[in-house]
Each structure stands twice: as C-alpha cells, then as structure tokens.
Amino acid sequence: MAIGPQDGRDWTSNGTADYDAYFGTPTHDDHVLFELLTVGVFQVGLSWQAAASKLPVYRRLFAEMVPQVVAGFDEEVDGERIANDPDMIRNGRKIRAVIRNARGIAKVQREFGSFADYLWQFVNGTPLMLPAVTRDELTNQSAIGTAVAKDLKRRGFSFVGPVVTHMFLLAAGILREQVIDA
C-alpha cells in the first residue's frame, strides 16, 4: 500500500489518524518520511498522540512539509513565526531541528537521489524484522537505530538520538517488530 499526499486520502483531517495510518507501513516517499521524522522530533517528552495530533499544524506552518522549501527557512525569523502560532508546540529547539532536518534531507537527496534511498540502504531495501519479544521485553532502541542516528547527526540532522531514530524507522516500516504473547 502506498501512502502519502497523492494516495487519494484526505490528509488534512486528523493528525493522529494520519500518523496511525502511516505507522509501520513501508514508505519510500520523502514527504511522508519528513512528516514521520517531524512527529518523532516533537514527540520527545510528549505522547505520540500529542505530537501526531499536530500534523495539520506542521503542514500549515512548515510549507506543507516539503523538505526543499523548509530547508530554505531562516531558523530565527521563521522559527519565531512558527513558535508564535497559537496552535503550535512552542519549543524553539524542536522547531529549529525540523528546519535543520529539512536541510539534511536536501543534502541526502543530492547524494543518494532520495531520503528514502539513503534510509533503505541501511536494510538493503527490505524491512528488517527485529527479533521477536514479549511486550515486557519491547525496547525503544536498536543497534540499527543507533547506527542510523549517528549517521544522521554526522549529516547535520538534529533531535535524532537513538530512541527518536528507532521509533522513526519503525514508523517508516523500515524496521518491523514482532510481539509474542507470553
């Protein structure tokens, strides 16, 4: 199933429903990947529902989440404009991280052709099934998430620690979890 702005769904409705529809579905769409990464950035310290519910706000304030456009934003001027919106999560560090991440995506696109190609090369183009665990054994980090996080940071991305990156890779369907009943 392809997901993204051109899939026929109404992506202007409910951010939580949109994110839930995205989560775990393998995607090669840079636009969707930027949205998923942005939710991950804003999720730090919040519930995924709180961060995802703001997807319509992110879309409105971050140029419909087009990385190439957001990459041109001024961190101070546009960051302040975005932070002053009454519907926005007003964390300046996270807002600046989204702008930096858009710049990182633009650089990666120039080097690899797409952000998706860059990410999927870590798993040789096929979703990586993590070892089966019980609910009690679920973790919010993985070796591959840590490796990708390190490489993203090296490329100028922000707010992409091992936890955020692991959850982002799960959301993008690049990593898959198997939960077994104990």
pLDDT of residue 8: 47
Q: What CATH number has the domain spanning 15-180?
A: 1.10.340.30
Bridge partner residues of 180 (DSSP): 134
pLDDT of residue 131: 79
Bridge partner residues of 133 (DSSP): 179
pLDDT of residue 16: 74
Look up the pTM and report it: 0.88
Percentage of residues of the chain with pLDDT beyond 90: 72
Per-domain boundaries in the chain: 15-180
pLDDT of residue 11: 46
pLDDT of residue 147: 98
pLDDT of residue 182: 61
Q: Look at the block and give the residue holding tokens 């939710």.
A: 39
User: Strand 128-129 relative to strand 175-176: parallel, antiparallel, unpaired?
Assistant: parallel
pLDDT of residue 3: 44
Tell me the residue length of the chain.
182
Q: Please calculate the CA angle 45-47-50 and round it to the nearest 5 degrees.
A: 110
In degrees and rounded to multiples of 5, residue 133 shows phi and psi of -140, 160
Per-residue pLDDT of the chain (182 residues; tens, 9 = 90+): 344 455 444 545 567 777 777 788 999 999 999 999 999 999 999 988 889 999 999 999 999 999 999 999 999 999 999 999 999 999 999 999 999 999 999 999 999 999 999 999 999 999 988 877 777 777 788 999 999 999 999 999 999 999 999 999 999 999 988 778 76
pLDDT of residue 39: 95
